[in-house]
Amino acid sequence: MLKTRITTAVVLLLAFSAGLIFTSIDVFALGLAVIVSAGAWEWGRMSGLADEDAQTAYAALTGVAALIALYVPYSAGWIQWLMLIGVLFWFSVPALFYLSPKQPAIAGPDSVLLAIGLLVFVVAAVAIQYLRSFAPEASSWLLFY
């Protein structure tokens, strides 16, 4: 089991690295949207979507939202506000875990968790594309660090 996981991780790392270094901005954006969709499909399951069609629809919606966000013209103001939202969210997560009472198992779709997933995936995709292609010192190597 561990050998399979390690092999999968190495293959995915090599594929992502090759895409990061050798692809154009458009191909990389499409790859990010596919990765976001795959992550959103799993997030949908963890958020209570039991129906596979609902998971697929959520994954497609999240992937399309990420793709749209990746093609919005990059301006310093827009990126700064989006990254501020992401940073504030991640700073609030430890407090939310600490302060919230123990939650029961998720019985059905939780719209708050689905919205949080959409936000997290879109912000992450935009941040990755920005660091690779648009930041003042943008480079593929910046993401390796």
- In terms of Cβ atoms closer than 10 Å to its own Cβ (0-12, 13-18, 19+), residue 105 is exposed
For residue 4, name the pLDDT band (cuts at 50, 70, 90). very high
Backbone angles phi, psi at 10, to 5 degrees: -65, -45
Average pLDDT over residues 6-28: 90
Helical segments of the chain, H only: 2-22, 25-46, 52-71, 76-99, 111-129, 140-144
Q: Is the pLDDT of residue 19 over 90?
A: no
Long-range contacts at 23-30 (CB < 8 A, ≥ 24 apart):
25/129, 25/133, 28/129, 28/132, 28/133, 29/67, 29/70, 29/71, 29/129, 30/67
Q: Report how far apart, in Å, the C-alpha atoms of 87 and of each of 18, 57, 84 are.
A: 28, 27, 5
Q: In whole numbers, what is the pLDDT of the chain averaged over residues?
A: 86
The per-residue pLDDT for 34 is: 92
* Contact yes or no for 62/118 (Cβ under 8 A): yes
